[in-house]
């Protein structure tokens, strides 16, 4: 659903609006990444672009971005949804908080190494 219709719709809950907004924002980012990935590094007569190939590439990129974000995407949408839900006082659609980017367990403060301090020499 386009964002203009989504914003004005009273049939869609605030949670669902935030979720779709987050997904569509992530799709914009994925489209930019995919478009940049398809640009040729070296110009030559063999990679000249016609209008038909440009349209085909755009349709392919749009569909790929939508499929990537609908299947979980890169995680930007989940984090954005969580942050927007907190700001708008709604619950995210999946109630689990987003996972941090790293999978390393937090190091307890007692086992951390002391910070380096310059000597007074």
> Is 31 inside any structural domain?
yes
The confidence score (pLDDT) of residue 107 equals 46
Residue 31 lies in domain: 3-40+49-93
Residue 21 CB coordination number (10 Å): 17
The confidence score (pLDDT) of residue 118 equals 60
> pLDDT, tens digit, for every residue of 74-89?
888 888 888 888 887 7
> Is 56 inside any structural domain?
yes
What total of structural domains would you count in the chain?
1
> Is 118 inside any structural domain?
no
> Is 99 inside any structural domain?
no
**Distances 4 to 17, 63, 81 between C-alpha atoms, Å:** 11, 20, 18
């Amino acid at each position: 659903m386009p964002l203009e219709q989504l914003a004005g719709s009273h049939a869609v809950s605030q949670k669902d609006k935030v979720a779709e907004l987050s997904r569509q924002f992530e799709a914009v980012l994925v489209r930019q990444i995919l478009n940049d990935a398809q640009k040729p590094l070296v110009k030559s007569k063999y990679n000249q672009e016609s209008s038909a190939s440009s349209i085909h590439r755009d349709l392919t990129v749009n569909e790929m971005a939508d499929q990537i974000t609908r299947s979980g995407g890169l995680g930007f949408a989940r984090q954005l949804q969580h942050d927007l839900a907190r700001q708008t006082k709604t619950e995210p659609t999946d109630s689990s908080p987003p996972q941090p980017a790293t999978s390393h367990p937090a190091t307890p403060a007692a086992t951390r190494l002391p910070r380096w301090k310059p000597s007074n020499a």
